[in-house]
């Protein structure tokens, strides 16, 4: 395995570092990976963008579960000792199945940030931007039942936003028009807090901010997921680490590797090479 983002060569950290596997329907989970890298700088990270099957939002739960199982098997085959499902839709469709199948390893999943959004709102109205799959899931319905009684929660499915991020069109006119279309009904209902309910959406946060203004709070869960991952691995995967060690980051895609390398390099903030997922898992 050739890492695309390695340590500086001054320390041999292979024997000391934990290996964390992360997957998403595409490149959106990189927003979570940034937080994981900051929280666990010594960990070796393996990221899979399932861009050959993106978006998950219009796929059946059974399809998403099958893809999630295949990607997790690949990550485990590469030495992953813990898994992060960096995708809200895959969390809703497959988190339970993965935890049953891989019961001996930490599996950390996404959850729309309903609780912190409810705490943050001043108007008493929280808007949710998410994929249709997330909004229709039983997991999201349970969150609304748990916290929705305290405030009004209004939801908006966002077809096309994932595709915008997958193309790297973070500042395009097409992206702006979609954001205007999806945020307008939420703002008309007096929402002053917007949950970014898909890991792709934080990459559009600057454009969303331009559209909705400074008075609207934007909430995502990447940092909370990274903190939960650290808590789990510190308890369940105790390992000696070298102080100051920097782990490796390796990227794979089930889509087209050259295109993925271009997009991931932009979103990761440095040039990387994305490898092709082996056919057995693609």
Catalytic-role residue among 117, 198, 204, 260: 198
Read off the pLDDT band of 58 (50, 70, 90): confident
Task: Specify the CATH class of 19-110+223-276 in words.
Answer: alpha beta
pLDDT tens digits along 27-37: 999 999 999 99
Residues 162 and 28: beta-carbon distance below 8 Å: yes
The CA angle 129-82-234, to the nearest 5 degrees, is: 100
Q: Could you tell me where the beta strands, DSSP code E, fall in the chain?
A: 19-24, 44-49, 82-85, 107-109, 125-130, 152-157, 193-196, 217-219, 249-253, 274-276
Cα 165 to its chain centre, rounded Å, is: 12
Identical fold at 19-110+223-276 and 114-220? yes
pLDDT of residue 184: 98
Number of Cβ within a 10 Å radius of residue 177: 12
Helix (H) or strand (E) holding 46: strand 44-49
Which of 109-113, 147-151, 202-206 tops mean pLDDT?
202-206
Residue 13 has pLDDT above 60, yes or no: no
Distance CA 108, CA 110 (A): 7
**Highest mean pLDDT: which range of 71-85, 111-125, 239-253:** 71-85
Confidence of residue 134 (pLDDT cuts 50, 70, 90): confident
Catalytic entry in 27, 54, 87, 92: 87
Taking Cα atoms as reference points, which of 135, 180, 175 lies closest to residue 156?
135
Token couple for 170: 């973070």
Phi, psi of 99 (to 5 degrees): -70, -30
Question: What's the predicted TM-score (pTM) here?
Answer: 0.88
Residue 158 is a catalytic residue: no
In this predicted structure, the answer to whether residue 282 has a pLDDT above a threshold of 60 is: yes
Domains of the chain by residue range: 19-110+223-276, 114-220
Q: How far apart are CA 195 and CA 70, in angstroms?
A: 29
In CATH terms, the fold of domain 114-220 is Rossmann fold (3.40.50)
pLDDT of residue 113: 87
- What's the whole-number average pLDDT of the chain? 91
Tokens standing for residue 139: 């997991």
Does the active-site annotation cover 87? yes
Question: Lowest-pLDDT range, 49-53, 130-134, 225-229?
Answer: 130-134
Q: How high is the pLDDT of residue 239?
A: 64
**Which tens digits make up the pLDDT trace of 149-161?**
889 999 999 999 9
* 73/79 Cα distance (integer angstroms): 10
Spatial separation of the C-alpha atoms in residues 42 and 122, rounded to whole Å:
39
3-state class (DSSP) for residue 139: helix
């Amino acid at each position: 395995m050739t890492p695309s983002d390695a340590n500086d060569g001054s320390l041999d950290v292979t024997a000391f570092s934990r290996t964390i596997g992360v997957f998403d329907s595409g490149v959106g989970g990189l927003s979570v990976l940034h937080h994981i890298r900051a929280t666990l700088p010594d960990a070796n990270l393996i990221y899979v963008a399932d861009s050959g099957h993106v978006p998950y939002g219009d796929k059946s739960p059974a399809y998403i579960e099958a893809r999630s199982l295949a990607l997790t098997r690949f990550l485990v085959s590469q030495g992953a000792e813990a898994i992060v499902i960096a995708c809200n839709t895959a969390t809703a469709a497959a988190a339970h199945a993965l935890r049953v199948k891989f019961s001996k390893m930490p599996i950390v999943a996404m959850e729309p940030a309903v609780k912190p959004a409810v705490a943050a709102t001043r108007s008493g109205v929280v808007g949710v931007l998410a994929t249709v799959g997330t909004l229709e899931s039983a997991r999201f319905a349970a969150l609304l039942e748990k916290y929705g009684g305290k405030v009004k929660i209004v939801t908006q499915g966002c077809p096309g936003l994932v595709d915008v991020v997958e193309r790297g069109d973070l500042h395009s006119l097409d992206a702006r028009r979609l954001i205007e279309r999806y945020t307008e009904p939420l703002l008309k209902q007096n929402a002053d807090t917007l949950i970014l309910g898909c890991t792709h959406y934080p990459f559009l946060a600057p454009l969303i901010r331009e559209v909705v203004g400074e008075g609207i709070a934007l909430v995502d869960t990447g940092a909370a997921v990274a903190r939960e991952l650290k808590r789990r691995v510190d308890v369940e995967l105790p390992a000696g680490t070298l102080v100051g060690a920097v782990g490796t980051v390796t990227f794979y895609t089930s889509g087209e590797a050259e295109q993925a390398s271009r997009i991931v390099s932009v979103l990761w903030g440095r040039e990387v090479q994305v490898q092709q997922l082996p056919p057995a898992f693609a």
